[in-house]
Structure 1
Amino acid sequence: MNKSSNSVTYRIALAVTLGGFLFGFDASVISGVIGYVTPQFNLELWQQGMVVGSPTLAAMFAVLFIPPLSDVVGRRKMLLFAAVLYAVSAFFSAIAPGFWILVFARMIGGIAFGAALVLAPIYIGEIAPSEMRGKLVSIQQLNIVIGFSASYFSNYYLLQMIQDSSSFLNEFNGWRWMLGVEIVPAVLYLILLFWVPRSPRWLIMKGRVDEAKVILAKIFSPDRVNDEFNRIQENFQEGQKSERAPLRILFSKELRLIVLLGVVLAVVQQITGINSILFYAPAIFEQSGVGKNAAFMQAILVGLVQVVFTVVTMMLIDRVGRKPLMQVGLAGIALSMAIVSFGFYNATYQFNEVHANEIGLSDYASQLAPVYGTTYTSDLIFKNELKDALGTEVFMQYESQIMERAADMNAILILAGILMFMAAFSLSVGPVMWVLFSEIFPTKVKGIALAVFGFINSGTSYLVQQIFPWEINTLGNTTTYLLFGVSAVIGFIILARYLPETKNKNLEELEKELVKA
């Protein structure tokens, strides 16, 4: 492969995966917004979960029809559709007058989530040479984590403006700017996609072989173009011989191993708690008593660690392989969640009259009298006592300031555990799942497979996000993070037994290896 074609392939991958940046930005920007819209819209716990998780709910259903639809109209057209939806979602989220409009606007963005997340790996897997495929698909995850980091920086900057009395931003309109700035990268994404070529494999599937050869000539060196074309065409013709429907083929006996791997990868990536930590990052750090400003700053560290270790993964994935990264990463996730759980387990909480006066709760002295001076070893009992004394609405309004003063725990240990979790996730199931999804499914069922397993992945993500506020308020921090760690252990055991290595193999070779007669 010559340098010119190499450069073209990288530029194409960067443009296509900008949708990943928008996913990361949109998904994590809500971590700074939720603290402001909760008292402003008087949200209950289920409504908080809905505001955070509504894009994932929409994505869960979008992935059922978007990949098969892309088989009909093409990958690029569906990605253009996603770019438009991102811009529309950002605009209406920023001007939402209430809970339901905000949820609806974010669900529009969720459809874009579904399109960008599953189509970019499919597209890149179809244009990338086998020796570059892992790295190129991983660009998607890199852009996602850069999007996360960008939103944390944006939120922190806007938070400083909100707290500046001379600024035009305040607690009532600042969160709208947090959501609205996404319009800029969404428009850029739309423009870049007009430059991206169609998938050569999709063109061959549609009988447009001359166009496919032109695109292959841009991606591969001249001596490889005919070989790649013949391999794709032969594989497609073999798939055409089958009279069975793609869904029936997917769940046939010969694809049993692939289905098992798809289910485990889709579930494990989300059930370890990644999106709960990303979407609620400032709130999690506030629970450790560091205060709002420090919580937003520590969320920036989470994003930076993601970026660094995603780059490390891109450098390693085509050298050491997919399976070793998965094993090391899942072991690290289990250990890091145990550390976070231990940090909260050793915490104590004590709130006194001085604290109450500092934050303006002196009018509630009589109601708070039973709480003053009492040392609590359970965050659940402590917060429930305060809710009974202040009322849920007042407690939620002052929760950050209360926890900052009352919590006595090793916040550095909790921060270290969460940063370790982000490093381990970014080294394994974060990018590697999408690489494997672009590799293990045969071409004839790839569209329906990505729909099914994208649905499982998004469904798991939505459930984890939706119940996270309930878990924290019912099970407590200690148990919640321990459950995330146990999930990683289960995933480690199953994948260590059944996951094969896929590096440096073209898609046609992998199909012959994984499909059991």
Structure 2
Amino acid sequence: MATSARPQTGSETHTGAVLLVTASAALGGFLFGYDTAVINGTVDAIEDEFNMSSGLLGFVVSSALLGCAVGAWFAGPIADRVGRVRVMLTAAIIFGVSAIGSALAVGPVSLTAWRVVGGLAIGAASVIAPAYIAEMAPANLRGRLGSLQQLAIVSGIFVSLLIDYVLADSAGGASGQVPWGGTAWRWMFASAALPALVYGVLALQIPESPRYLVKKKHFTQAREVLQRFVGGDTELRIREIRRSLAGGDQAVHLSDLRGPRLGLLPIVWVGILLSVFQQFVGINVIFYYSTTLWQAVGFSEDSAMLTSVITSVTNILTTLVAIALIDRIGRRPLLIIGAAGMVVTLGTMAVCFSTADGSGDDLALGPVAGPIALVAANLYVVSFGMSWGPAVWVLLGEMFNNKIRATALAVAAAAQWIANWLISTTFPALADVGLFLAYGIYTLFAALALIFVLRSVRETKGRELEDM
């Protein structure tokens, strides 16, 4: 491709090449989504297998998130020292090992331990993927390419739920024996080793981030990567990166994020709150516990699993809508539209479940409230999938300057995993009281998220990372 000193346009960038490498990096999101949903098909089976209370079940289900928070926290500083690609490769190996360990678990303790180990890998991948994609992508494509992270997450959810459904169907339930031997729920966990292997192989094929290479003063390698995958005036781009990194070639520490607003830089707080609100609206409850929820609506186990698969397909389609819109209308409008939609749909679900009969495993919705709740849940997924799902990851990858990006993103991602853990751990107890309470709380947080975006989130569409 020709080079020039003019700003890049889509025709001047090596779109196909950069799409391939960013899609490979985004596969870390596939692991995230796969692990998020693989537990969905196993929840009732492991509860019976290990005779767990609802509180213990909630902890085991969400235990991976503790590892995710730790993995995310350390991934940024480590990636600044050893590179983005090496962290991806390490994450793939750890996740593959944890998948086999979870499949061989002999009780709640060992299952929890292996899921925490897997969480370390997922947390690291959740930081590295958006950072790497943002650092590889041209400004005019960054929103769409950054959204690949969310597309990979929801695709992982879909594939995981589909495999859960097939395994449960072949065994007559998640607790049953599959025809080739072994319990279905154990094979559900073991199946996660395959995407980990693919992620590791692809991580060996992609180049290091040019901004990391410039930071380490590997200018020749950075120039080659920019010429091959980005195009345009590579010398100008390297000069801009060096300018943005002025004084930032030293190791970045958490202390570098300190600022005047409650001890942190204001932009770091924006990243943290975006992450927390993304989880506090309760989206992962749909994917961790959706089979159990739809049994409450009146579906059998098999039908409830199939409904979960359909919900995940909805999530994929809405993410594709977001990819088409995010570089056209911007990140902030998508967040506003999505938050408003979630307020309405979550509020509808809260009202529907307030009319439910029974509680816990005996919860049942009436012939009118049941279908309305089902429709509202899927519209809620639409609202989230076309907005807060992809847009938050895009913003986290691009909103921080080159000096602090990996470290600030690590802090924001760690906050996201902790928020995810809080929501997932408290849901079973809230559900025992009444699902109307859970969905009512999530409605409140959706409303707060809307107010937060209107007051504090700025648009980043079309801006170069060096201008952040």
TM-score, length of structure 1 as denominator length: 0.84
> What is the one-letter code of the residue matched to 1:177?
W
Q: What's the secondary structure of 1:129's corresponding residue?
A: coil
Q: What's the secondary structure of 2:404's corresponding residue?
A: helix
Verify the 8 A CA contact 2:80 2:251 in the aligned structure 1. Answer: no
Q: Trace 1:76-155 onto structure 2 (pairs within 5 A).
A: 76-155=85-164
Q: Deviations over 1:104-158 (max 9, x none)?
A: 1111110111111111000111111111111111101001000101111111111
Alpha-carbon distance in structure 2 between the residues aligned to 1:299 and 1:336: 17
> What is the one-letter code of the residue matched to 1:116?
A
Q: What's the secondary structure of 1:325's corresponding residue?
A: helix
Cα distance change on mapping 1:412 and 1:216 into 2, 3 Å: same
Q: Which runs of 5+ in 2 are unaligned?
A: 1-9
Give 1:308 deviation, angstroms: 0.1
Give 1:508 deviation, angstroms: 1.7
Cα distance change on mapping 1:407 and 1:228 into 2, 3 Å: same
Q: Could you say which residue in structure 2 is the equivalent of 1:192?
A: 202
Alpha-carbon distance in structure 1 between the residues aligned to 2:467 and 2:87: 28
Verify the 8 A CA contact 1:250 1:445 in the aligned structure 2. Answer: yes
Alpha-carbon distance in structure 2 between the residues aligned to 1:227 and 1:468: 51
Q: What's the secondary structure of 1:416's corresponding residue?
A: helix
Q: Deviations over 1:182-235 (max 9, x none)?
A: 1112111111111010011111111111111010101222x4212211111111
Q: Could you say which residue in structure 2 is the equivalent of 1:392?
A: none
Q: Could you say which residue in structure 1 is the equivalent of 2:3?
A: none
Q: Deviations over 1:242-265 (max 9, x none)?
A: x99643442224974313311220
Alpha-carbon distance in structure 2 between the residues aligned to 1:116 and 1:506: 24
Cα distance change on mapping 1:497 and 1:425 into 2, 3 Å: same
Q: Deviations over 1:438-478 (max 9, x none)?
A: 1111211122212221121111110110111011112x111
Match of 1:202 among 188, 194, 212: 212
Give 1:292 deviation, angstroms: 1.3
Q: Trace 1:196-345 onto structure 2 (pairs within 5 A).
A: 196-221=206-231, 223-239=232-248, 246-253=253-260, 256-345=265-354
> What is the one-letter code of the residue matched to 1:53?
S
Alignment RMSD (CA, Å): 2.1
> What is the one-letter code of the residue matched to 1:443?
N
Verify the 8 A CA contact 1:276 1:464 in the aligned structure 2. Answer: yes
Verify the 8 A CA contact 1:290 1:411 in the aligned structure 2. Answer: no
Higher helix share: 1
Verify the 8 A CA contact 1:306 1:423 in the aligned structure 2. Answer: yes
Match of 1:480 among 420, 432, 438: 438
- Residue 126 of structure 2 is aligned to residue 168 of structure 1: no
Q: Could you say which residue in structure 2 is the equivalent of 1:424?
A: 383
- Residue 439 of structure 2 is aligned to residue 492 of structure 1: no
Match of 2:465 among 507, 510, 513: 507
Verify the 8 A CA contact 2:81 2:251 in the aligned structure 1. Answer: no
Q: Could you say which residue in structure 1 is the equivalent of 2:5?
A: none
Give 1:169 deviation, angstroms: 6.7
Match of 1:69 among 78, 97, 103: 78
Cα distance change on mapping 1:282 and 1:3 into 2, 3 Å: farther
Cα distance change on mapping 1:81 and 1:275 into 2, 3 Å: same
Alpha-carbon distance in structure 2 between the residues aligned to 1:167 and 1:192: 31
Q: Could you say which residue in structure 2 is the equivalent of 1:396?
A: none
Verify the 8 A CA contact 2:339 2:384 in the aligned structure 1. Answer: yes
Verify the 8 A CA contact 2:271 2:409 in the aligned structure 1. Answer: no
Give 1:2 deviation, angstroms: 4.6
> What is the one-letter code of the residue matched to 1:21?
F
Cα distance change on mapping 1:169 and 1:283 into 2, 3 Å: farther
Alpha-carbon distance in structure 2 between the residues aligned to 1:5 and 1:204: 20
Q: What's the secondary structure of 1:443's corresponding residue?
A: coil
Verify the 8 A CA contact 1:344 1:409 in the aligned structure 2. Answer: no
Q: Deviations over 1:31-53 (max 9, x none)?
A: 10011010110011222112210
Alpha-carbon distance in structure 2 between the residues aligned to 1:244 and 1:191: 29
Give 1:346 deviation, angstroms: 2.5
> What is the one-letter code of the residue matched to 1:186?
A
Percent of aligned pairs sharing the same letter: 31
Verify the 8 A CA contact 1:288 1:409 in the aligned structure 2. Answer: no
Alpha-carbon distance in structure 2 between the residues aligned to 1:189 and 1:167: 27
Q: Deviations over 1:262-309 (max 9, x none)?
A: 122011000000111211110111122222122111101110011000
Cα distance change on mapping 1:409 and 1:287 into 2, 3 Å: farther
Q: Could you say which residue in structure 2 is the equivalent of 1:467?
A: 426
Q: Deviations over 1:413-446 (max 9, x none)?
A: 1111111111111111111111111111121112
Verify the 8 A CA contact 1:161 1:169 in the aligned structure 2. Answer: no
Alpha-carbon distance in structure 2 between the residues aligned to 1:260 and 1:113: 23
Verify the 8 A CA contact 2:136 2:230 in the aligned structure 1. Answer: no
Q: Deviations over 1:62-90 (max 9, x none)?
A: 21111101100000000000110111011
Q: Could you say which residue in structure 1 is the equivalent of 2:24?
A: 15
> What is the one-letter code of the residue matched to 1:126?
E
Q: What's the secondary structure of 1:237's corresponding residue?
A: coil
Alpha-carbon distance in structure 1 between the residues aligned to 2:36 and 2:345: 23
Alpha-carbon distance in structure 2 between the residues aligned to 1:326 and 1:156: 32
Alpha-carbon distance in structure 2 between the residues aligned to 1:259 and 1:31: 33
> What is the one-letter code of the residue matched to 1:175?
W
Equivalenced residue count is: 455
> What is the one-letter code of the residue matched to 1:188?
V
Larger Rg: 1
> What is the one-letter code of the residue matched to 2:448?
I
Alpha-carbon distance in structure 1 between the residues aligned to 2:185 and 2:167: 8
TM-score, length of structure 2 as denominator length: 0.93
Alpha-carbon distance in structure 2 between the residues aligned to 1:212 and 1:306: 36
Cα distance change on mapping 1:166 and 1:470 into 2, 3 Å: closer
